[in-house]
Amino acid sequence: MKRQTIVVGGGVIGLLSAYGLAAGGVPVTLIDASDTGTEASWAGGGIVSPLYPWRYSAAVTALAHWSQDYYPGLGEVLKQQSGVDPEVHETGLYWLDLEDEDHALAWAQREGRALHRVHMKEVHAAVPALGDGFAKAVYMPGVANVRNPRLLQAMRGALAQMPNVRIVERCPVHGFVREGQRILGVQTALGEMRAEQVVVAAGAWSGNLIARLGLELPVRPMKGQMILFKCAEDFLPSMVLAKRRYAIPRRDGHILVGSTLEDVGFDKTPTEDALESLRATAIDLLPGLADAKVIKHWAGLRPASPEGIPYIGAVPGYEGLWLNCGHFRNGLVLAPASCQLLAELMLGRAPCIDPSPYAPVGRL
């Protein structure tokens, strides 16, 4: 018989962890302090790639490559199950004026990923809205973005139809139910909830929760702010990225521009300074946006971790306690592989990738 499991956190990692476990026959209770899908997963841009994939460790690369290949099929399955299209939108991605272009190209050749130099004339022909102030570019075809609010709606909708899943929202988790070194559930605003296994997938709040056990999990919030424009559907045919800022087109003409990186604790208040900085970036990248109105401005809290390597696996010394957190800027990118790996470990199946770089043992 599959062991009753509580998943704490209703972002992309929590939702997809619950989905994978439930698909394996596990009875799952998903608990979120607010409504599911309303924190960092909702706030991100949804690029299905790390911003600069060649600058990450092999551990992040392994998760990213597995997930990138998996996303199109996942989008279709979730659309069929929920009736909500996550809009996995393949546009390709241009990086402009890279300082480490040679390193990027060498990484792509080594990893077998398509990435090549493109003359600026070709870039302007492909992206007519692009500004003139750029000297060189590299392009990766096939890179997608996912419309993350719809992805989250689709995942919640799919979970709601699974008979072995219970979703509990607006229910903060304050601690754990323990018997010695065994975890038997969680303490919540609605009282004690028991289960044989608990998965902490609470994003930037995971470290605070694990601290209730006297453990130090180095996952902390890093604020990121974004802005949104509405343009013609053909205004921006591809994603573009320069100086750590990016513009992402949605199919209906919405353009996301982001993002900031701010170490300000759990404050996610949008600021006027960030709005002006992001708008200046947007106009530098795409001068036509000077006449466009910013229709939305928001902030989210990324779960920062050392080197951006998530914690996935059992917590040593605490039987029944598991982690799937600390994905930093890449939660949406890495979610399919991270959650597949967690489900395989918990179900005793052969893992899709080597789990050792993500194991909590030796890292807490």
CA distances from 23 to 15, 161, 326, 339, 343 (A): 12, 11, 24, 12, 9
Q: Name beta bridge partners: 224.
A: 300
What's the token pair of residue 235?
């205004």
Q: What is the pLDDT of residues 294-353, one digit of tens each?
A: 999 999 999 999 999 999 999 999 999 999 999 999 999 999 999 999 999 999 999 999
Using DSSP, state whether 58 is helix, strand or coil. helix
Dmax (CA) for the chain in angstroms is: 67
Model confidence, pTM = 0.96
Return the closest-CA partner of residue 323 out of 2, 59, 13: 13
What's the token pair of residue 177?
């139910």
Using DSSP, state whether 246 is helix, strand or coil. strand
Return the closest-CA partner of residue 241 out of 49, 90, 88: 49
Residue type, 305: S
Domains of the chain are 5-64+149-219+306-358 (3.50.50.60), 93-141+220-304 (3.30.9.10)
Q: Name beta bridge partners: 144.
A: 90
Q: Name beta bridge partners: 103.
A: none
Q: What is the pLDDT of residues 267-290, one digit of tens each?
A: 999 999 999 999 999 999 999 999
- Give the pLDDT confidence score for residue 364 in this predicted structure: 86
Q: What is the pLDDT of residues 9-44, one digit of tens each?
A: 999 999 999 999 999 999 999 999 999 999 999 999
DSSP 257-324: EE---B--TT-----HHHHHHHHHHHHHH-GGGGGS---EEEEEEEEE-GGGPPEEEEPTTSBTEEEE
